[in-house]
Chains A and B, each alone.
Chain A
Amino acid sequence: MSSKLMSLSHAVARFTHDGMQYASGAGLPVGADPVVFGRELIRQNRRHLHAIFHATTQQLNLLCAAGAVDKIECGFSGLEGFGFANGLRRAVESGRVLLEDYSNLTMALRFLGGALNWPFVPATVNVGTDLQFHSAFHPDEPASRRKIPPVTDPFSGREYGALAPLRPDLAAIHVTLADPEGNAIMLGSEWSRFELSRATRRLVLVADALVATDCMRQFPNLVRIPGLLVEAVVYWPFSAWPQASPGIHDGDERHMRLMNEALGTPEGYARYRRDFIDSYQTLDEYLALIGPDTVEKLTATATGFLLDPYRRWLLSRAEIDELLAESDL
């Protein structure tokens, strides 16, 4: 199989378009999420996105502040210990963005339904609450029967909720390790990335580190995303910054706060865009923006031992640059 390595800007140019259903594949709310993919969506002025975010928030917060999103479906929209998401809040409270609420289980079940190509998924949760009765997408329907309509179990006659499957146009999924063919290993909770990788119509991986394929052959049970599902692999260390990537780096607490505070106002967002979105062209410029001291500090994570079994297969920067030059993308 040939290399699927591609630059970030090329992947966004090739696989995204205005108005698409864009899913982010990530860990939990302040966990591993390809935030840098969202920065690039903004750099390329993507608009009217229908965002499918299971629970991670800082990228969604940013896309909302940028005015790039019209609709959201998610299970959670906060920054946990870092508070409420200011950019998302402004967008939702003003009615500029419609947010359809589900729970963290029902988002995973909807990906499962999409992956299996089922007509609906029966649910024992969300029913009986305003998650079932209210729809931001269909606000005029009292006790909405379109969002989670009741469905009868043909065996028992009991009533359950029917969840609509999700099949996003594109998922950009954060993985810790990928080989150039797109076989991938995630460290930390996989959250819903396994189901999403099967539900999405197209899949781009954003990897913290690249390894030789021999690594995947050593740990095939841990390769939950095989390359045959993958369109492109983007190599981008610290793609989750300022959030954390278990085994690779800690979250940047200072920048989490700075970013969320900035996204609270249009002026703050404009400054943030100038300083942290439009201010780099290359990976090295991006890492310089985070700062070498911060990179070093965050890399000294107590979770670093999780990477130990894989270190002998890590590709060097020179090897990666050579592969990228060959792919010419």
Chain B
Amino acid sequence: MSYTRQEMMAIAAGREIRDGELAIFGVGLSLLAGFFAQAHHAPRVRAMTEGGIYGATPVGGLPWGIECNRLCTNAVSFTNALDALGFLVASGRCDVGLIGAAQVDRFGNVNTTGIWGEPLGERYRPPKVRLTGSGGANDIASGCRRVIVMLAHEKKRFAERVDYLTSPGYLDGGDARARYPFRGGGPSAIVTTLGILRPDLETREFVLAARYAFASVEEIVANTGWPLRVSEPVAVVPEPTERELAALRRVDQTGMLRRNPDG
């Protein structure tokens, strides 16, 4: 059975979503992973996007955005940002959120603001490369009971410290999150194109918990920018089933995850 690394990542992230949960999906890959879960094993997931679009399933392919017309044809409620990100997410009511990342560090902190080439430090200066900024990611990472972070597993993206801390993981590790009034518990998994990292329960450092069938531990360690700890033994993530792939490809009708055969 053939599938791409991106498809494996979307399926592995989707498996983290349980039926019946209140869930919020970000844009792009995370939207695909979330709606894959709904199409496959979580038909009663209560899905929303940060615009306050409730009960919608995308038609005609992956939405261009979280309020794309592809998501507006079968919604049961349109509300607003204060409602979705505030009343339901920052309040602590939402079970799970899915977000993407440009950069992540060993404590699961996420950068989607910009690339400076080094941690920004004390004094602000313009980035070398401006990215998108937080969007709803900071609010989701602060408020959801648990958060799943998705990104391509490349050394430059897995940094010892993120250049800019946009969305909180476990900050400096340990119980550092407790210093702040976040209602949510922090990231439960970093799902990548090579495997799955989970936090150590005490230090909150992310550890390699499982690899995909096509990825070796050596490859994953070599593509991580900090000395990655590896759990013993490392699990192997089950390959996508035919039913899973069919469900994902129904959601990914325009083939966004299949464009790069090696991706």
- A residues near B (Cβ < 8 Å) are 27-31, 54-55, 74-78, 80-82, 84, 88-89, 92-95, 99, 101-109, 112, 124-131, 134-136, 138-140, 142-143, 158-160, 187-195, 244, 246-247, 250-251, 253, 256, 301-303, 305-306
CA distance A247 to B78 in the complex (A): 13
Given contacts A105-B82, A190-B79, contact A78 B69 (CB under 8 A): no
15 A-B residue pairings within 8 Å (CB atoms): A93-B127, A93-B128, A103-B137, A103-B139, A104-B135, A126-B138, A129-B165, A136-B124, A142-B123, A188-B72, A189-B52, A190-B79, A250-B69, A251-B68, A303-B69
Interface size on B, residues (CB 8 A): 63
Nearest 5 A-B pairs (CB), nearest first? A78-B132, A189-B51, A28-B67, A80-B65, A81-B64
Known contacts: A92-B130, A104-B135. The answer to whether A28 contacts B51 by CB under 8 A is yes
Is the CB–CB distance between A124 and B183 below 8 Å? Answer: yes
- Could you tell me the dominant secondary structure of chain A's interface residues? loop
Besides A80-B28, A126-B142, A130-B166, 15 other A-B contacts (C-beta < 8 A): A29-B67, A80-B68, A84-B132, A103-B139, A108-B80, A125-B138, A125-B142, A126-B134, A128-B168, A128-B171, A129-B166, A143-B122, A189-B53, A190-B78, A303-B73
Contact A128 B69 (CB under 8 A): no
Q: A193 to chain B: which residues have CB within 8 Å? A: 80
Once A28-B65, A75-B135, A93-B126 are accepted as A-B contacts, the answer to whether A131 and B72 lie under 8 Å apart by CB is: no
Partner of B51, one of A74, A109, A158, A191: A191
Q: How far is the CB of A30 from chain B (nearest CB, A)?
A: 4
B167 contacts A159, CB within 8 Å?
no
B177 nearest CB neighbor, chain A only: A128
Of the candidates B64, B80, B132, B168, the one whose C-beta lies within 8 Å of that of A253 is B64
Q: Could you tell me the distance between the alpha carbons of A301 and B59 in the complex, rounded to whole angstroms?
A: 12
Q: Which residues of chain A are near B134, meaning CB under 8 Å?
A: 75-76, 101-104, 126, 131
Whether the pair B138, A103 counts as a contact (CB closer than 8 A) is yes
A88: chain B residues within 8 A (beta carbon): 130
Contact A191 B69, CB 8 Å, known A77-B132, A103-B139, A105-B139: no
**B interface with A by C-beta (< 8 Å):** 27-28, 50-53, 59-60, 62-70, 72-73, 78-82, 85-86, 89-90, 109, 113, 120, 122-139, 142-143, 164-168, 171, 177, 179-183
Output the nearest chain B residue to A195 by Cβ-Cβ distance.
B82
Known: A31-B68, A55-B135, A112-B82. A131 touches B126 (CB 8 A): no
Contacts of B89 in A (CB 8 A): 105
Instruction: Evaluate contact between A93 and B130: CB separation under 8 angstroms.
Output: yes
Residues of A within 8 A of B66 (CB): 28-29, 80
Instruction: Let me know if A78 and B131 touch, CB within 8 A.
Output: yes
Known contacts A27-B51, A92-B127, A105-B89; A81/B168 CB under 8 A? no
- Asked if A125 and B182 make an inter-chain contact with CB atoms under 8 angstroms apart, the answer reads yes
CA gap between A185 and B55 in the complex, in Å: 21
Cα distance, A78 to B53, chains bound together (Å): 20
Which among A29, A81, A99, A191 is the interface contact of B80 at CB below 8 angstroms?
Answer: A191
A134 touches B133 (CB 8 A): no
A108 touches B164 (CB 8 A): no
B68 CB to nearest chain A CB (Å): 7
Instruction: Establish whether residues A108 and B85, one from each chain, have CB atoms under 8 Å apart when the complex forms.
Output: yes
- Contacting residues, chain B, for A28 (C-beta < 8 A): 50-51, 65-67
Nearest-neighbour CB distance to chain B for A198, whole angstroms, equals 12
Output the nearest chain A residue to B137 by Cβ-Cβ distance. A103
Distance to closest chain A CB from B67 (angstroms):
4
- Report yes or no: A191 in contact with B67, Cβ–Cβ below 8 A: yes
Q: Report Cα–Cα, A99/B125, bound state, in Å.
A: 11
In the docked arrangement, what's the CA distance between A105 and B91, Å?
A: 11
Q: Is the CB of A105 within 8 A of B67?
A: no
Specify which chain A residues have a CB less than 8 angstroms from the CB of B124 in the assembled complex.
134-136, 138-139
- Cα distance A190–B77 in the bound complex, in angstroms: 11
**Does A104 contact B73, Cβ atoms closer than 8 Å?**
no
Q: Are A105 and B69 in contact (CB under 8 A)?
A: no
**Cβ of A138: which chain B residues have Cβ within 8 Å of it?**
124
Instruction: Give the residue of B60, B78, B123, B180 whose beta carbon is less than 8 angstroms from that of A128.
Output: B180
The CB with the most chain A CB atoms within 10 A, among B63, B72, B109, B128, is that of B72
CB distance A124 to B142 under 8 Å? yes
In the bound complex, residues from chain B placing their C-beta under 8 Å from that of A128 are 168, 171, 177, 179-180, 182
Contacting residues, chain B, for A305 (C-beta < 8 A): 73
A189-B78 CB under 8 A given contacts A77-B130, A103-B137, A125-B90: yes
When distances are taken between beta carbons in the complex, the residues of chain A under 8 Å from B183 are 124
Asked if residues B50 and A104 are in contact (CB atoms below 8 Å), the reply is yes
